[in-house]
Structure formats: structure tokens, C-alpha cells
Amino acid sequence: MRAAVMGWSVARTSAQSGTGRGQWPRPSAEHLDAFIAQWEQRAALVSTRPGFVDSRLHRARSSDTRFQLVNVSHWESREAWEAATADPEFRARTRAAQDDPQTRITSSPGLYDVAVEFSAAAAEQS
């Protein structure tokens, strides 16, 4: 099983000024809420594709965190993830979110393999 991890930082908009070198604009809670609503629609679409296992969108607890949203999705294979994200409807919805000033995002996608895994259940068995 492969994990597709995507961190989202919110793109700078005309209403947001820079915060200085090495820093990023801080999105409003409303901006994040609007993005999450659109993300749920894209996630519902992609979750019906072959090879999809699960997905969780994580929201930062602090507005000082660089990536305000991080999605971790599990797929049966790289090929399944690539096919799902190449879907024209998925791409159109993603493009719409990137172009909408209320939900504009910058994504940093990547595929990862588990390097180390811990769980409470495994610890109890040892």
C-alpha cells in the first residue's frame, strides 16, 4: 500500500500582504473552511476510483504552521493514484479550486512508502 501525502499552503492573494522573508501568508479560517468544502467534493469523487483505500485531511491547530492542511491518502498502488488524479473531472475540480480566490491553494504532492510504523496494538502484543 502506498501513501499519497499532500501538504497545502494557501497562495498569496491580493488581500494578503507578505509577512517577511522566510514566512508565508496566514489564511483566514473562512478561507480554509471554503477550501475544505471543495476538498470534500473532490475527495468524494476520487474515493470511488479503483485502488482507493482511505484519506484523511488534517488541519493545523496553529495558524503559524506552514502547511495549514495536510492530506494523507492510502492507495493500493502508485498506478491507482496516478489514474485517479489524472481523471478529467478531478483535474477540473482541482483547477477550479486553484483559480477561485476563496479557495486558492498551492499544493506539494508526494508519494511515500512507510519507513517505520508504530501502533498501540503492536506495542501491547510485544
pLDDT at 17: 38
Indicate whether 17 belongs to any domain: no
Domain that holds residue 75: 2-12+25-113
pLDDT tens profile 14-62: 333 344 445 556 678 888 898 899 889 989 999 999 999 999 999 989 8
CATH code at position 101? 3.30.70.100
Indicate whether 123 belongs to any domain: no
Structurally, the chain folds into a number of domains equal to: 1
pLDDT at 15: 36
- What is the C-alpha separation between 18 and 76, in angstroms, rounded? 40
Indicate whether 29 belongs to any domain: yes
Q: In terms of pLDDT, which residue wins out, 81 or 3?
A: 81
Indicate whether 124 belongs to any domain: no
Indicate whether 79 belongs to any domain: yes
- What is the C-alpha separation between 19 and 85, in angstroms, rounded? 33
